[in-house]
Amino acid sequence: MNKLLSAAAVSAISFAFVSEAAATEWNVSVWGKRRAFTEHVEKLAELVAEKTGGEFTMNVSYGGLSKNRENLDGISIGAFEMAQFCAGYHPDKNRVVTVLELPFLGVENLEQEVAVARAVYAHPAATEEMAQWNAKLLMTSPMPQYNLVGTGEPRDELSEFEGMRVRATGGLGEAFKTVGAVPTSVTATEAYQAMEGGVVDTVAFAQHAHLSFGTINQADWWTANLNPGTVNCPVVVNIDAYESLSDAHREALDSSIPEAIDHYLTNYAELLERWDSVLEEKGVQKIEIAPEVISEFQAIAGKPNHDAWIAEMEGQGLPGQELYDLVVKTLAEAKGGS
């Protein structure tokens, strides 16, 4: 009998085995450092751990798992379970979501940015394209309209954009190219060195990135209201990892997304509120572009780029017009237009 385990011992061992088997640990690949851009990822990890009593945890790695341009590749091979990337880093791999990067779409705030991103992410074309990379679109990383920081004399006329070397990716890069600028798509982490070394004259970023990547420290001026567009940076999960979650863990993940986004929006609003004091502290001149200059830029770089994108997507067998119309309709609804 002493060779037999008691019922209590068997129960304890079984419980320990089940608990260990039920534990889920995900690795999450982002880049840079913790900042407004990653707060929803951090909040998601916190909420999921809370809801599962610590059984489902996420290790958020800032550059330790992959380079930012290679995060989607890492997801496709299962190198990690979750990652953030920006569409402009490899537009050929994520053509559908680049509709959200078109210049002068008319998005006015982060809530509207969330609305249009959700609509596009839910479209079958987006789901199918991401599935080619074994990726599921989880949530967006909403960013305000990009604006420029630059060195030397402020560039507040379109004629002054001629030959301007600007760090701008995706649709923004195309917009600046339309008015004679020379865009380069160096990554966010390379932007400071590019500016410091004179590789670029200006850098287009959202406010948090100008702070996080130090470009504001190189700047003499900042355009307060150029607002040509923004970039789209999804958070994705590996499909196999997502589907292998228990029902409880999947529910914990899915149900935490709205709160994670709300946390992100609240946090970003606080950054925007103190932005003017940041400019003053850094000695950066705030430039207001004349309305007629913005209108001219929009006429040259807006609809022509939209039409070109639609034609290119349709030519590749994607529903370009349908996706564009979806953005326009969703934006109108978000603004209370219907």
* 147-230+280-334 matches 25-142+231-271 in CATH topology: yes
Q: What is the DSSP code string of 114-140?
A: HHHHHHHHTSHHHHHHHHTTTEEEEE-
H runs (alpha helix) in the chain: 7-22, 39-51, 71-76, 110-121, 124-131, 170-178, 191-196, 207-212, 239-243, 247-273, 275-282, 291-301, 303-315, 320-334
Q: Report which of 280, 289, 286, 273 is spatially closest to residue 221, judged by C-alpha positions.
A: 286
When the pLDDT of each residue in the chain is averaged and rounded to a whole number, the result is 92
Closest CA to 230 of 134, 333, 103: 103
Report yes or no: 213 and 275 within 8 Å, Cβ to Cβ.
Answer: no
How far apart CA 147 and CA 176 sit, in angstroms, is: 12
pLDDT value of residue 223: 96
d(CA 175, CA 58): 38
The token pair that represents 186 in the structure block: 């160096």
The proportion of the chain whose per-residue pLDDT surpasses 70, expressed as a percent, equals 93
Give the C-alpha distances (Å, rounded to integers) separating 267 from 44, 60, 335: 14, 19, 22
Q: Which tens digits make up the pLDDT trace of 160-206? A: 999 999 999 888 999 999 999 999 988 889 999 999 999 999 999 99
Position of tokens 């994705």? 236
Q: Which residue in this structure is represented by tokens 């608990």?
A: 19
Average pLDDT for residues 223-239, to the nearest whole number?
95
Predicted model pTM: 0.86
Task: Output the DSSP codes for 134-178.
Answer: TEEEEE----PPPEEEESSS---SGGGGTT-EEE--HHHHHHHHH
- The better pLDDT of the pair 22, 32 is held by 32
pLDDT of residue 258: 98
Identify the bridge partners of residue 166 per DSSP, sorted by sequence position: 183, 202
Here the tokens at position 253 are: 């993940």
Query: Yes or no: is domain 147-230+280-334 CATH 3.40.190.170?
Result: yes
| pLDDT at 186 (0 to 100) | 85
pLDDT of residue 185: 85
Sign (positive or negative) of CA dihedral 312, 315, 317, 323: positive
- Residues 75, 178: Cα–Cα separation, whole Å: 34
Domain boundaries, the chain: 25-142+231-271, 147-230+280-334
Long-range (24+ apart) CB contacts under 8 A made by 271-277 are 271/36, 271/207, 271/208, 271/211, 272/144, 272/207, 275/207
Contact 213, 191 (CB under 8 A): yes
At residue 105, does pLDDT exceed 60? yes
Nearest to 138 by CA among 100, 101, 188, 85: 85
- What is the third-level CATH fold of 25-142+231-271? D-Maltodextrin-Binding Protein; domain 2 (3.40.190)
Work out the pLDDT band at 337, boundaries 50, 70, 90: low
Mean pLDDT score, 52-56: 98
Among residues 31, 238, 36, 68, the alpha carbon closest in space to that of 137 is found at 238
pLDDT for 21 beyond 60: no
